[in-house]
């Protein structure tokens, strides 16, 4: 399996690459090649990462290829883990960040379209990940649209942890936790359908106020809380959640459970506008693919919150219309300060 990774010299990759090489993600019988994309600036660091991988003597790691040209690095890739993106700089408008990172994903989408394996799967981690995935997808017309994912598994893991702690249970008893929408502060961690030890979460945590006014913002702004403590974005827990995301596609989803991933809304059963990359509950047969789960209960609370996240993603989409081959509306940016990454709260 050929796995391309961008931002390969960064903090997230520094955790992730060793998990991939050890076989704990794709299995102990799956040899892998790592194709690592860096930048001119990170070339030396990338060589350092490769040296550490070599020195670890992983029996499944058969090749490490380094480069700064996506057209070379993405060649024949079966997976592209698109982690690299520019952080928002001081005084930078939200629309500028969308544009700056959007240009990276426009180039990478085109490169994947040209040289990746025809069934390549993509996971976008670099923020704003939903809209970056949309840009990549729209610029890769020959690759399956449903193969594009944006990472919301970190949000799911955060939600499970909060529910488990509040209920006084171990996190393994918390299941069926979906994240809806954007990986931003409008994301909707779904406590309505979540289960704790097999019961609906609100039947176990009988505290509606906590669920609505504490749990939801705590999960949605966890990235920012962590930046305040740590001085930088989450790296280890992001890498763990990427590994969880990938494993979810290669291990059959247990009955009555789900995993969250932001994927194309085309044909979704919840009435969410088509053509957006939106986090929804999914299941897998373990063959690398997924299907949307279609029977989640959407009460008024969820409906309203999901609609707000949908609205935000529509604004983001319109703001990057100049990077899409077929923009839905005239490219007009209506983005205001109200659209925030988890780290920007
Ligand atoms: C996170 O959720 O930890 C990150 O997406 C935060 C950020 O904005 O970098």
CA 50 to chain centroid: 25
The alpha carbon of 85 and the centre of ligand 1 are apart by a number of angstroms equal to: 12
Location of structure tokens 């690459």:
17
The answer, yes or no, to whether residue 289 has pLDDT greater than 70, is: yes
Q: Whose CA is nearest to atom 7 of ligand 1?
A: 343
- Residues 192 and 202: their CA atoms lie apart, in Å, by 7
Give residue 168's pLDDT band: very low, low, confident or very high (50, 70, 90): very high
Give residue 192's pLDDT band: very low, low, confident or very high (50, 70, 90): very high
The answer, yes or no, to whether residue 345 has pLDDT greater than 80, is: no
The alpha carbon of 125 and the centre of ligand 1 are apart by a number of angstroms equal to: 9
The pLDDT assigned to 331 comes to 66
- Report the pLDDT averaged over residues 257-282: 98
How does pLDDT run across 242-257, given as a tens digit for each residue?
999 999 999 999 999 9
Instruction: Kindly report which listed range (9-13, 168-172, 300-304, 341-345) carries the lowest average pLDDT score.
Output: 341-345
- Report the pLDDT averaged over residues 268-278: 98
Give residue 338's pLDDT band: very low, low, confident or very high (50, 70, 90): low
- Residues 262 and 276: their CA atoms lie apart, in Å, by 9
Is the CB of 128 within 6 Å of ligand 1?
no
Q: Whose CA is nearest to atom 1 of ligand 1?
A: 223
Is the CB of 84 within 6 Å of ligand 1?
no
CA dihedral sign, ordered 99, 308, 211, 294 = negative
Is the CB of 126 within 6 Å of ligand 1?
no
15 is catalytic: no
Give residue 263's pLDDT band: very low, low, confident or very high (50, 70, 90): very high
- Report the pLDDT averaged over residues 294-315: 97
Give residue 311's pLDDT band: very low, low, confident or very high (50, 70, 90): very high
Is the CB of 341 within 6 Å of ligand 1?
yes
The pLDDT assigned to 75 comes to 98
Contact in structure between 280 and 180 (CB atoms under 8 Å): yes
Q: Whose CA is nearest to atom 3 of ligand 1?
A: 223
Location of structure tokens 């809806």:
180
Estimate the crossing angle of helix 300-319 against helix 94-115, to 10 degrees. 80
The pLDDT assigned to 336 comes to 64
- Report the pLDDT averaged over residues 288-313: 97
Q: Dig out the tokens for 257 from the structure.
A: 């459970």
Q: What is the chain's mean pLDDT, rounded?
A: 95
Residues found in the chain: 345
- Residues 47 and 21: their CA atoms lie apart, in Å, by 16
Give residue 337's pLDDT band: very low, low, confident or very high (50, 70, 90): low
Contact in structure between 107 and 99 (CB atoms under 8 Å): no
- Report the pLDDT averaged over residues 274-291: 98
Q: What's the order of all strands across the beta sheet hosting 291-292?
A: 61-67, 32-37, 2-6, 79-82, 121-124, 148-150, 259-264, 277-283, 291-292
The alpha carbon of 93 and the centre of ligand 1 are apart by a number of angstroms equal to: 17
Give residue 84's pLDDT band: very low, low, confident or very high (50, 70, 90): very high
CA distances, 24 to each of 117, 147, 158, 196, 247 (Å): 23, 22, 21, 27, 9
- Report the pLDDT averaged over residues 126-133: 96
The alpha carbon of 154 and the centre of ligand 1 are apart by a number of angstroms equal to: 9
- Report the pLDDT averaged over residues 187-208: 98
Give residue 93's pLDDT band: very low, low, confident or very high (50, 70, 90): confident
- Provide the b/e sequence for 47-63 (b: ≥16 CB within 10 Å): eebbeebeeeebebbee
Give residue 95's pLDDT band: very low, low, confident or very high (50, 70, 90): confident
The answer, yes or no, to whether residue 341 has pLDDT greater than 90, is: no
The answer, yes or no, to whether residue 333 has pLDDT greater than 90, is: no
The pairing of beta strand 277-283 with beta strand 259-264: antiparallel
Is the CB of 233 within 6 Å of ligand 1?
yes
DSSP state of 275: T
- Residues 102 and 86: their CA atoms lie apart, in Å, by 10
Give residue 163's pLDDT band: very low, low, confident or very high (50, 70, 90): very high
Give residue 87's pLDDT band: very low, low, confident or very high (50, 70, 90): confident
């Amino acid at each position: 399996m050929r796995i391309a990774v961008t931002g390969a010299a960064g903090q997230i990759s520094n955790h992730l690459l060793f998990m991939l090489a050890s076989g704990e993600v794709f299995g102990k019988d799956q040899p892998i090649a790592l194709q690592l994309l860096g930048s001119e600036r990170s070339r030396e660091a990338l060589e350092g990462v490769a040296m550490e991988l070599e020195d670890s003597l992983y029996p499944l790691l058969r090749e490490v290829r380094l480069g700064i040209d996506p057209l070379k690095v993405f060649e024949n890739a079966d997976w592209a883990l698109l982690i690299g993106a520019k952080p928002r700089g001081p005084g930078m408008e939200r629309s500028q960040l969308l544009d700056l990172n959007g240009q990276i994903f426009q180039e990478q989408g085109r490169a994947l379209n040209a040289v990746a394996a025809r069934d390549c799967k993509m996971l976008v981690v670099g923020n704003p990940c939903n809209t970056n995935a949309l840009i990549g997808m729209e610029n890769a017309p020959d690759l399956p649209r449903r193969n594009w994912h944006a990472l919301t598994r970190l949000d799911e893991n955060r939600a499970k942890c909060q529910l488990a702690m509040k209920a006084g249970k171990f996190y393994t008893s918390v299941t069926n936790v979906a994240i809806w929408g954007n990986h931003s502060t409008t994301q909707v961690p779904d406590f309505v359908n979540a289960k704790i030890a097999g019961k609906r979460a609100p039947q176990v945590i009988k505290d509606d106020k906590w669920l609505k006014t504490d749990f939801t913002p705590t999960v949605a702004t966890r990235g920012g809380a962590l930046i305040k403590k740590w001085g930088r974005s989450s790296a280890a827990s992001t890498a763990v959640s990427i590994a969880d995301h990938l494993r979810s596609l290669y291990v059959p989803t247990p009955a009555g459970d789900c995993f969250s991933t932001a994927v194309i809304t085309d044909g979704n059963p919840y009435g969410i506008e088509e053509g957006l990359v939106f986090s929804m509950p999914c299941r897998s047969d373990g063959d690398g693919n997924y299907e949307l789960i279609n029977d989640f209960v959407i009460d008024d609370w969820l409906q309203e919150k999901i609609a707000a996240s949908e609205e935000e993603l529509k604004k983001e989409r319109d703001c990057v219309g100049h990077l899409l081959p077929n923009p839905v509306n005239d490219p007009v940016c209506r983005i205001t300060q109200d659209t925030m990454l988890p780290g920007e709260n």
